[in-house]
Amino acid sequence: MLYLSGVVAFALGILISVSLHEAGHMLVAKRFGMKVTRYFVGFGPTIWSFRRGETEYGIKAIPLGGFCKIVGMTPQDDDVDPADEPRAMWRQPLWKRTAVMAAGSVAHFCLAIVTLWFAAIFMGLPNPDYPTTSAEIRSEPARIELAPCVVPENVARGCQAGDPASPAAQANLRNGDLITAVGTRPVTNWGDMLDAIRATPPGPVPVTFVRDGVSHTSEVNLASVQRPSPDKPDGPAAPVSALGVGLGTPSMIKYSPVGAFGATADFTGDMAVNTAKAIQRIPQKIPALWTAITGGERDVDTPISVVGASRLGGEAVQHGLWEVFVLLFVSLNFFIGVFNLLPLLPMDGGHIAIAWFERARSWIFARLGKPDPGRVDYFKLMPVTYALILIGGAFTLLTITADVVNPITLIQR
């Protein structure tokens, strides 16, 4: 039930963000005096609508997006009433048209940034200094975070019925305790602690730790689990001891309302770089998507569709990983915002690129003493537009299929 609720909540969040995208176009167009005749959430048959002023607002049956109709987006639009010609979008100054077309992506960016700011205060943002390599992890202080259980077999999954409770928790250790010795073996960092525990047979052993500046010793009944060697994480598993703790270095850091501004800016900058890299890798990942569909292993670095993102959102809610849910929603919005600004039709970035091309071409012709060539004929661009729509549709179908038959999951089973 939690999983389904998470899927629905994430899908609803995406629908709201897309609706805000279209609302961005509409509000800026109205602000500049352009005429917006329709604003709808969804596609297909109309379920409900009402008219306010010159705009019809409503909801359609298929909740897979939305749209707004701005009069005269291109010179080739043939449904413009003669009385509305002065308000046609294509007749407006370049900066106004650019602002209107960019407003959709700006809505995604604003939604992502505002969500990040609140997350930084109430949930926390990823610790930029959190260790990522094995060597970095081993050099961290042996400060612990209690695990709810120990998983006996060598699989990455959450706790299940029958899994033994964490030995550290049973021995009344607490989050933040700093391990200084296991048995008679001193511990100076996380790597020392792992080595000491693995070198100790399962069963009772005294563990020395520091809490609030005071040293304590508690007898811990180490559990027996199956794990590979730290030097060969992909190698065969063997019986070893386990304390039932995780790295105590915080993976998430909360900030004050003022400090959240800087943290949000830093995280957004990193996200912009990672988004640009992800877009560049899309063509390289198509073969991996096909491999996933045809029975191969799914690469976690392959693109996902709205279906895949919603499934991950549901899984995050199911396992109580709300930070994953929020950051996934933020990343998806930022990605959509950037992707929509690519200078390709039919995306907004394509319309912006054409508008600026027209201005540059007119400026060059004026300097050469030649007549203004006028507006770009969108009809001549339709073959390219249709080709891009076909490619985009095929790619979307590919990602959806992969997300249905071989989805990326947070917890490997």
Catalytic (active-site) positions: 22
Residue 20, SS3 per DSSP:
helix
Strand 237-242 and strand 55-70: the pairing is: unpaired
Q: Which residues contact 183 (CB under 8 A, 6 or more apart)?
A: 196, 200, 205, 206, 207
Helix/strand/coil (H, E, C) string of 337-383? HHHCCCCCCCCHHHHHHHHHHHHHHHHHHHHCCCCCCCCCCHHHHHH
Cα 310 to chain center, whole Å?
A: 11
Cα separation, 23 vs 27, whole angstroms: 6
Residue type, 181: A
Cα separation, 303 vs 407, whole angstroms: 11
Q: Which residues contact 2 (CB under 8 A, 6 or more apart)?
A: 314, 317, 318
Residues 217 and 208: beta-carbon distance below 8 Å = yes
Burial of 353 from C-beta contacts in 10 A (0-12 / 13-18 / 19+): middle
Residue 409, SS3 per DSSP:
coil
Cα separation, 114 vs 213, whole angstroms: 39
Q: Which residues contact 74 (CB under 8 A, 6 or more apart)?
A: 90, 375, 378
Cα first-last separation, the chain: 19
